[in-house]
Amino acid sequence: MVSLNLKNNWFNVLYYLICILILVLSLRGIPGNPKDLELNTSTWKENGPLELSTDRGRFALTYSLLENKSFNFSLNIAKFATPDLGYFNGKFVSLFDPGLSFLVIPGYIIGKLLGAAQVGTFAIISIFALLNVFLIRKLSEELGANKIMSAIAGLVFLFATPAFTYSVTLYQHQITTFIILLSTFLLIKYDNFWTLALVWMLLGLSFAIDYPNAVLVFPLVILAIKKIFSIDIQKNRILFRLKSLYILSLLTVLIPISFLLWFNKNSYNKYFQLAGTVTQVTGFDNNTPINNRYVIEDATKYVSPDRKSGFLGSFFYTRNLLEGFYILFLSPDRGIVNYTPVILLGLGGIIVAYKRKMELLPFLFSIIGLNILLYAMWGDPWGGWAFGSRYLIPTYAILSIFISIFLTKYRKYLILLPIFLILFSYSVFVNTAGAITTNAIPPQVEVLDLEKASNSIQKYTYQKNFDYLSMNKSKSFVYQLIGKNYMSSWRYFYVLYTLIMSLSVGLLVVQYADNFKKIFSKISINVFRKTLPLNINFLKRKYD
Amino acid sequence: MTNYTFSIPVNFWKNTGLVLEKNLKLIVGIILVIISITAFVYYWRNGLGIAYNDARSHLDIGRRVIEGLKPGLAQLGSVWLPLLHFLMIPTIWNNFMWHSGLSGALVSMISFVFCGLLIYQFLEQLGVGKVGRLTGVIIFAANLNILYLQSTAMTELLLLATMTAGSYELLIWHKTGNYLNLVKSAIWIMLSTLTRYDGWFLLFYATLLIIINVVKKKSYKTAEGTLILFLTMAALGVVLWFLWNLLIFKDPFYFITGPFSAKAQQDLLSNAGVLPTKGNFFLSMKVYLYALMYNTQTFPSILGLIGAIILWFDNKINRSIKMASTVLLAPLFFNIIALYIGHSVLYVQGISGNTWFNVRYGIMLLPSIAIFIGYLIDKLKPFRVVLISLILFTSFFSIVSGDAVTIDDAKFGSSQKNVTEISEWLKENVTNENSYILISVASHDAIVFSSGLPMKRFIHEGTGDYWNKAIINPDKYAKYIIMRTNDATDMTFRLVGKSPGFSRYQKISSFPFADIYELRPEYWNNLATNTK
C-alpha cells in the first residue's frame, strides 16, 4: 500500500498540482495591460479585480514604479487609489507599507509580457499561498502530525478559511503568514548562522510588508534571541552563554529596514515617515483632492480625524476589544463561526499539544494571541469591506497545524470524521464562493446607511457572494476568459468545490482506510478467537 | 565562533530568591504605595481627581461634620452610607485635604494598597505560587480604572478592600475552621455594609455560605451558634444604620424612602422611562457585563472566567474552598439583581442610553478577576509567560490610549457636573464678603465644593434652623440664592420660589446647572445677620 504513508513523490506532486490547479482556476483578474485612465473604469475597479482600495493602493504603487518610474502617483493613479491615498508635500503618495508592492513586481513584469499584468501581479500572492501550504505540512509533521493529516491541514488553511480569497487577490496576509511560518520552521529545524541571518531578514521584512507585523512576529524574535543567548542550569552554577557570531546575524535585519528607509525618503522625503501616518485623501472633487467631504486647501486641514499620526494609542484601543472579539469570532459579517468553523478544531489540537508539553506551543499560541488581541483592539476589526476576518489569516495557518495534531491524535475516533467533514465542507463551500466572487462585503454597521443611499437591500454576509454567483458572475480570470463560454458561474463554483472536496476526501479515505483495515482485522481476530479454539497470538501481535 | 559565557553560582541565585520571597509581600506593598501616590499626583495635577460629582459631594459631607453652620455627626446624613465620610474626619479640616480631594482619596489609596496585598494573600491561601500571586496583583494595580478611582474620594476602593478582606477571612475560615477568622470576616463585612449597599448583599451571601458549610460539616445546632457569632458583628453595621436613620430622621427606613434616596432617584428615572434595566433581566445582565468588560479591559475578564472554571473543576481543591470562592462573585450577582429590580442605575453608552452613568460599578469584580487569573497562571505553567505577556500587551495599550471608562464617566457622562462657570463667579464675587448663600446641597453640592468658599457661608438642608427660617424669609438671611429656576426637584426653588421674600431678589446670572439670585441692595440692611 504505497499511498498509505504518502511516501511516494507522485502523491505529493498530485497534491500540489491539484492545489495549483484550484488556485489558477480561482485567481481573480481580467486580461490586458491597462493604461492609468483605463484603471479608473469600473471594468478594473468595482466590477473588476481591483474592487477595493486596499488592493488598488498596493497595485497603484507597483504600477507607478514600473510604468511611471515614480514613487509619487500621477493624478489618474491617485484617483485610482482613493480613498486609501496619501498626500505629502503636495504629492500623492502610497498610504500602504511598500513591501508587498515591491514583491509583486516580477509578477507584474511577467504578466505584462503575457498580456495580463494584473493577473501576473496577483499570481505572486497565490505562489506564497502555496508555499504556506507546504510550510504548514512541514511544521505539522515536525510537531508530530502524520503525513495525511498534515496534508489535510494544508487544505484546511488554503481552501476552508478566508485565506483562500486572499490567495487570489492582492493583499499582504499570505506573505505575512509565509514569513511567520518560514521563520518558525527555520528556527525549530536549523541552528546555524545563515539560517538565523535569514530569519532576522524575514522578520525585518515583515515590518516592511505590514507595520503591525512588528508585534505579530515578536514571539519569533524571542525564539531567535534564544538561539543567540542561552541559559544552562548546571549543578552548581547557572551558565549564561552568548554566541558572538550569531549576534552578527542580526545585521541582516538592516537589509529590509534600509529598503524601508530608502522608500520613505523617496516617497515622503523623510527617512522615518511611515506610510500610514501621512494625510489621507478620500476622494476628488474634479481634480481637487478632498478628505471627508471637505475641499483640501492645505495639508494642515487635511488630517483625517481618525488618524492621529504617530500616536499608537489612537490605532489600538482596549475599549474596542469586546466588540473586536465579537466581530472576529461571532459576527455574521466576519465571524469565524460563520465563515470558517472548521478552524475551531484547532483548539483541540492546542489541548493535545499542551498535554504533550510541546515546546513550541507557547510561541505559536502567543502569535495567535497577539494576532487576535491586536486586531480586536484595532478600530476596524472588520478589515473594511472584506470577506471574513482577513486579519486572522496567520491564526488560521497556525490553527490548521493544530488541526493536524488533533486529527492525528484522535484518528481512531470515527465520530470525529463526520464532524470534521461537515465543518470542513461547509467552510470550503463558503470560502470557495468568496474566492471566485467578491471581497466587497460591507460591515453590518454600514449597511443601514448604504441602504438609505442606494435605496436597496444590502447584504453583509457571504450571502452576497452566493448572490453574485446567482447573477452568473465570477471574478475568476479563467472563468471570465474561458469558463463563462461553457458553464454558469454556479457550475464553475461546483467544479472547484468538487475538486477541493475530492482531494480532501481522498486523503481522508486513505487515512481511514488504514484505520478501517485495522478495525476490521481486530474484529476478524475476535471472531476467529470465539469461533476457533486456536492460539492466534501470532495474528494479534501482527495487527496490534 | 567565540562564545562569551558568564555564570552565577546556583546558591547565590537561590539565596537571592529566598530573600526576595521572604520580603516579597513587603516589596509588593512598597510598589503599590509608590503606584498609588504617583497615580494620585497625576490625577490631582490634571484636575481629574475631583471630576466625579459624587466625589465632591463625599468631600463636602465629610467637611460639614467639622465645619459649617451646624457641624456634627448628623451631617453624615442618609444619602450615602457613612464609613468613607467618617474616615475623612481626621483630615478634612485641612482646606488642602478638602479641596484637593486627598482627604477622601487617602482612604481610597490605603484601600488600594490593602486590596492589592489581599489579592496576594488570597492567592497564597489558594496555594498559588509567586508568579501567580504577582500576576494577580498586577492585574489589579495596572488597571487604569482602579488607578483613577483610588485617586478620588469615591467609595469603590474602600468597598473593594473591605469586601475582599471579608471574603479572604471567610476563605480561611472555610479552610481551617478557625473561628477567629470568622470574626475577622464579620468585622470586614460589617465595614463593607457601612460603605455601600453591595456590602449588604455580601452579608447575605456570606451568611448563606456559613450555613451551608457548618450544616454540611457539623450540625444545624452548630450552624445556629456560628451564625449568631457571625451576625452579631457582621450585621452590626446594618442595625446601626437603621438606628441612625431612626434617631436622626425619625424613620429607620429613611435611607430607602427618603427624598434623596437611591430609590427616589431611580423612581424618577423609571417614571421618565429612562430606567430600561428595571424588570429586564437580560438587559440588566448585558449592561452589567458590558460595564465589567469595559472596566477590566475585556481580556482579563475572559482569562478570569477561564481561571474560575479551572478552579471550580480542580479536584485538588477542597469542595468547601470552592464554595467559599464563590463569594468572589457576590458583586456580580448583586449588581445584576439591583439593576433588574430597579434599585440601581447604570448607563453604558450605546447599550442603554447615549451616555455613561455609574459605569464604574463594573470595577467591583476586578479583585475577583485578579484572583482567578492568578490561579490560572499558576495552573497553566507552560502558558505562563505567554499569558503574562499578553496581559502586559493589552495593559500597555490601555495605558498609552488612556482607556479608562471611569474617567469618561466622570468627564463626559451623567456622573459629571461641570460647575466651573458658576463656581468661578462665586469665587470672584462672593469670596470677600461675609454674606450667606442659600442653596440645596442635594442638588448643588458640587457648586459648594468648587466655589472654594468655607462651608459656613452656605445655608442648606442640613443647617437646621438656619434653613428652616431662610426658606420662609430668605431675604432676612441670604444675600444670594442659588437654584435651578422652575425645577421642582431643586428643593430651594420648591420651598423658596413662592415665598414673598423671594420677590426681593433679582437674577444676576444664569449658568448651565443653576441661576444666581441676589438680594436687591435696598434690602441688604434687613438681613438678620450682620453680613452685608
Under 8 Å between Cβ of B344 and B261: no
Output the CA torsion sign for B237, B243, B248, B249. positive
Rounded to whole angstroms, how far apart are CA atoms B294 and B391?
A: 15
Q: Is B382 on the interface with A (CB under 8 A)?
A: yes
Under 8 Å between Cβ of A340 and A427: yes
| Pick among B143, B295, B299, B306 to test the A interface (most A CBs inside 10 A) | B299
Q: Is A234 on the interface with B (CB under 8 A)?
A: yes
Domain count along chain B: 2
**From the centroid of its chain, how far is CA B216?**
36
The ipTM estimated for the assembled molecules is 0.88
Same domain for B431 and B393: no
How many residues make up chain A in this entry? 544
Q: How many CB atoms lie within 10 A of CB B279?
A: 12
Rounded to whole angstroms, how far apart are CA atoms B23 and B5?
A: 31
Same domain for B495 and B430: yes
**From the centroid of its chain, how far is CA A482?**
28
Same domain for B377 and B237: yes
| Residue type, position A486, single letter | Y
Q: Which residues of A400-419 are buried (b: 16+ CB within 10 A; e: fewer)?
A: bbbbbbbbbbbbeeeebbee
| Residues B386, A366: C-beta atoms closer than 8 Å | yes
Query: Does residue A540 fall inside a structural domain?
Result: no
Contact residues for B111 (Cβ-Cβ < 8 A; gap 6+): B150, B157, B158, B160, B161, B162
Query: Does residue B194 fall inside a structural domain?
Result: yes
Rounded to whole angstroms, how far apart are CA atoms A280 and A290?
A: 9
- Classify residue A289 by its DSSP letter: E
| Residue type, position A200, single letter | W
Rounded to whole angstroms, how far apart are CA atoms B64 and A514?
A: 85
Same domain for B295 and B179: yes
Residue at which a domain ends, from B411, B433, B453:
B411
Full domain range(s) for residue B355: 22-411
Nearest chain A alpha carbon to B395: A318
Query: Does residue B10 fall inside a structural domain?
Result: no
Q: Which chain B positions have a beta carbon within 8 Å of A321's beta carbon? A: 293, 297-299, 394
Query: Which of B10, B382, B401 comes nearest A354 by C-beta?
Result: B382
Query: Which of B3, B390, B398 comes nearest A241 by C-beta?
Result: B3
Nearest chain B alpha carbon to A228: B3
Angle between helices B102-125 and B156-176 in degrees, nearest 10: 20
Full domain range(s) for residue A13: 2-502
Query: Does residue B487 fall inside a structural domain?
Result: yes
CA angle A101, A102, A103 (to 5 degrees): 95
Task: pLDDT tens for chain A, 544 residues: list them.
Answer: 444 455 568 889 999 999 999 999 999 999 999 999 999 999 999 999 999 999 999 999 999 999 999 999 999 999 999 889 999 888 999 999 999 999 999 999 999 999 999 999 999 999 999 999 999 999 999 999 999 999 999 999 999 999 999 999 999 999 999 999 999 999 999 999 999 999 999 999 999 999 999 999 999 999 999 999 888 888 888 888 888 889 999 999 999 999 999 999 999 989 988 887 888 888 887 777 776 544 333 333 333 333 333 445 567 899 999 999 999 999 999 999 999 999 999 999 999 999 999 999 999 999 999 999 999 999 899 999 999 999 999 999 999 999 999 999 999 888 999 999 999 999 999 999 999 999 999 999 999 999 999 889 999 999 999 999 999 999 999 999 999 999 999 999 999 999 999 999 999 998 888 777 776 777 766 665 665 544 545 444 444 4
Query: Does residue A515 fall inside a structural domain?
Result: no
| Pick among B393, B395, B406, B409 to test the A interface (most A CBs inside 10 A) | B393
Query: Does residue A533 fall inside a structural domain?
Result: no
Query: Does residue A543 fall inside a structural domain?
Result: no
Same domain for B265 and B167: yes
Query: Which of A242, A246, A369 comes nearest B386 by C-beta?
Result: A369
Same domain for B439 and B391: no
| Residues B3, A370: C-beta atoms closer than 8 Å | no
User: Nearest C-alpha of chain A: how many angstroms from B3?
Assistant: 5
Rounded to whole angstroms, how far apart are CA atoms B437 and B450?
A: 14
Q: Is the peptide bond before B9 cis (omega within 30 degrees of 0)?
A: no
Q: How many CB atoms lie within 10 A of CB B349?
A: 18
Query: Which of A219, A240, A321 comes nearest B299 by C-beta?
Result: A321
Same domain for B360 and B445: no
Same domain for B386 and B316: yes
Same domain for B349 and B321: yes
| Residues B298, A365: C-beta atoms closer than 8 Å | no
From residue A301, how far is each of A313, B148, B241, B313, B473 by CA, in Å?
22, 34, 60, 58, 58
Backbone phi, psi, residue A93, to 5° = -135, 170
| Residues A318, B398: C-beta atoms closer than 8 Å | yes
Query: Does residue B238 fall inside a structural domain?
Result: yes
Same domain for B249 and B223: yes
Query: Does residue B15 fall inside a structural domain?
Result: no
| Residues B1, A245: C-beta atoms closer than 8 Å | yes
Under 8 Å between Cβ of A511 and A497: no
Query: Does residue B13 fall inside a structural domain?
Result: no
Q: Is A325 on the interface with B (CB under 8 A)?
A: yes
Domain count along chain A: 1
